[in-house]
Amino acid sequence: MNKQVFQFLKNYSTDPVLVNRLIVTSFLNYNNLSLEKNELLLYNKINQGNTIELKVLKEFEEVLNNYITKFSFENLIELFEFVISPTEKIVNGAIYTPEFIRNFIVNKQFELVSADLRKVKCCDISCGCGGFLLTITNHLRLNTEHSFKEIFKENIYGLDIAAYSVERAKILLSLFALSSGEDENFDFNLYTGNALSFDWFKASKPIRANGGFDLISGNPPYVASRNMEQESLDLMSNWSVAKSGHPDLYIPFFQIGYHFLKSKGILGYITVNTFIKSINGRALRLFLGSEKPLFHFINFAGEQIFKGRNTYTCLCFISKNPGSIKYLQTESSNLENITEEVLQVFDYKDLDHFSGWNLTNSIVTDSFIKQIENTGIKLKDKFLTRNGIATLKNDSYKFTPVGETKKHYIFLKNQISFKIEREVCRDIINANKIKDENDLQEMLEKIIFPYEVDNHGKLQIIPEDKLKSRFPNCYLYLLTQKEILATRDKGLKNYEEWYAYGRRQSMDINSLKLFFPHITTKPRFIISDDLDLLFYNGIAIISDDLQELKFLKVILESDIFYKYILLTTKNYSSGFLSMSKNYIKNFGILDVTEDVKIKIINSSDPNKLLNKLYGLVKS
């Protein structure tokens, strides 16, 4: 649907009822649908006596005419999903799922499930405006003799946290039935509630009698923990899969769905693929490793399925039957060509549920990863890896001097000149941007560092009265940033001093550093011998042994490491990949003599030597 159509709706009203009436009436008009009995649709149709709404309707249909010739159900779903406010999209994670994805998921579920279609109980526990429910309804209508009225009453169930989304799901399904000639009132099993606490066995006698759902389909909400309401954060703690790291909202939906499946039922989701390796996915991996369900897993890796959303997804089909993981990484355009034979089978007992799953498309690739990880000493056991500092407002602390005196740095901010005492500043660099050793000097910046070492050798914040008297220029500048700094952590955290950094990470590194970017197309590694140098954005491996870092640098710049990281990391669009420590921690570092290390460091062809030492070629 064209953005001009969306813009019209955005400018028209935020009242769900008014928006519904405009969209529904336009849909009825475009599709020449006759409506007489359905009270829900009649309520959401603009009547001829309403001159104000009719005027807006005419304007809206003129906009529609410029961009569409047919008003399809997919257009309708997109419009319903769009008019959820941007704020609520963040909080509730609502997003439109393309039709071909919904069709594939639902068809695959019906292929896997062994249930009488006339009696099957199907649900979307985060149904939004009802896209998946429409797809399931269509499948049942085509493959049973049931009417829409019977399907809605006997087979279809849904839940959403937003009442207006549930209302739109009812409208969508009613229009779908009307388009096939069923113009009557329907009984729906669609509820408003929070999936984190909603008990289907208490709410629905038919589901309790059935022992759960035969099919649970959907697109669980994508909400980071930092964007969740406190109620949801509290409810998350009731689910064991949400007890590692800072879990995103989609994670407990696996356990919730699995809990409400009947024996041999099928869960079918399109969801974020980060749980394969992430810390916040650890408890989920441990849960699945304990339950050992049959799990068909199709990973889209770095392909982005959803328009305008920076999410990387996969399809998950989890059967409440014992089994193994059947895996394939592929592109969405290849979905219809997937057969059981191309799936790589992984036994749960062979996977590392704590550190992360290495899932690949072939036995050869899997063997390569195991060979590398079982050689020498794992990187996590030999070196410390640190992320950069986290002030949470770098622009308030960081600056590039335009001049300096014996005691001060001078810089401009918003065209105002400030002086900052040199003694309260440190050197800092953006580790994501450095490409060679020259950048260590050319890209050097300064950062205000309001900390000092106490009598016990510990780093402490400089008290406000001391900062004010000892560094008056710095204090006066920080006062100009006080309101900005107060917005960190949504203004909810009490810092030791209002000018303290948001987090204390990586502030006390006094070591050599091997810098590399967090996200890149191909890794690059730069050694810094400046023990006091701070960094932000990127990652550093730290050591007091320069020879060890030189040796590590050669290994990490090798073809072996690049192949390994391509196979094990999180992929982004445009060929970018993640270098976070969670993806590199299990890489095996050769345990060899000092003489061999020197030989590798000085070699003109280290790849040849490394291939032999890693056992990838015969000696």
Helix (H), strand (E), coil (C) string for 552-608: HHHHHCCHHHHHHHHHHCCECHHHCEECCHHHHCCCEECCCCHHHHHHHHHCCCHHH
- Domain region containing 201: 93-361
Give the pLDDT confidence score for residue 544 in this predicted structure: 95
372 and 324 part of one domain: no
**In-domain check, residue 76:** no
Angle of helix 594-602 relative to helix 546-556, nearest 10 degrees? 60
93 pLDDT tier (thresholds 50, 70, 90) = very low
Give the pLDDT confidence score for residue 576 in this predicted structure: 86
613 and 585 part of one domain: yes
d(CA 180, CA 158): 22
Q: Is the pLDDT of residue 305 over 90?
A: no
Give the pLDDT confidence score for residue 169 in this predicted structure: 96
Give the pLDDT confidence score for residue 253 in this predicted structure: 96
More confident residue, 3 or 181: 181
The mean pLDDT value for 490-501 works out to: 91
Please, what is the average pLDDT of the chain? 92
**In-domain check, residue 87:** no
311 and 202 part of one domain: yes
Terminal Cα distance for the chain, rounded: 61
**In-domain check, residue 42:** yes
Give the pLDDT confidence score for residue 84 in this predicted structure: 59
86 pLDDT tier (thresholds 50, 70, 90) = very low
Over pLDDT 70: what percentage of the chain? 97
More confident residue, 270 or 307: 270
261 and 326 part of one domain: yes
d(CA 460, CA 473): 20
d(CA 513, CA 206): 62
Give the pLDDT confidence score for residue 1 in this predicted structure: 63
The mean pLDDT value for 548-568 works out to: 95
Q: Is the pLDDT of residue 356 over 60?
A: yes
| Boundary residue ending a domain (476, 504, 532) | 504
**In-domain check, residue 88:** no
466 and 518 part of one domain: no
d(CA 382, CA 514): 14
112 and 224 part of one domain: yes
pLDDT in tens, 227-248: 788 888 899 999 999 999 888 9
Give the pLDDT confidence score for residue 192 in this predicted structure: 96
Residue-by-residue DSSP string for 182-232: --S----EEEES-TTT--HHHH-HHHHHHTSEEEEEE------GGGS-HHH
**In-domain check, residue 85:** no
pLDDT in tens, 251-294: 999 999 999 999 999 999 999 999 999 999 999 999 999 999 99
Which domain CATH number covers 198? Answer: 3.40.50.150
**In-domain check, residue 460:** yes
Sorted by sequence, the CB contacts under 8 Å of residue 120 that are 6+ apart come out as 113, 140, 155, 214, 215
145 and 121 part of one domain: yes
Residue 250, amino acid: Y
**In-domain check, residue 77:** no
Q: What is the 3-state secondary structure (H, E, C) of 328-343?
A: EECCHHHHHHCCHHHC
The mean pLDDT value for 216-234 works out to: 87
| Boundary residue ending a domain (482, 504, 526) | 504
68 pLDDT tier (thresholds 50, 70, 90) = confident
- In this structure, of 136-140, 167-171, 357-361, 408-412, the range with the lowest mean pLDDT score is 357-361
Q: Report the phi/psi class of residue 166: left, alpha or beta, with left for phi > 0 and alpha for psi in -120 to 50.
A: alpha
Give the pLDDT confidence score for residue 5 in this predicted structure: 86
More confident residue, 89 or 347: 347
577 and 603 part of one domain: yes
| Boundary residue ending a domain (484, 504, 524) | 504
Q: What is the pTM of this model?
A: 0.81
260 and 277 part of one domain: yes
409 and 297 part of one domain: no
Give the pLDDT confidence score for residue 575 in this predicted structure: 79
Which domain CATH number covers 541? Answer: 3.90.220
Query: How many structural domains is the chain composed of?
Result: 4
**In-domain check, residue 100:** yes
141 pLDDT tier (thresholds 50, 70, 90) = very high
> What sign does the CA torsion over 470, 471, 473, 475 have?
negative
262 and 333 part of one domain: yes
Greatest mean pLDDT among 9-23, 70-84, 386-400 lies in 386-400
Q: Is the pLDDT of residue 493 over 60?
A: yes
d(CA 250, CA 257): 11
Angle at 29 between CA 27 and CA 32, to 5 degrees: 105
348 and 483 part of one domain: no
Over pLDDT 90: what percentage of the chain? 78
Give the pLDDT confidence score for residue 92 in this predicted structure: 44
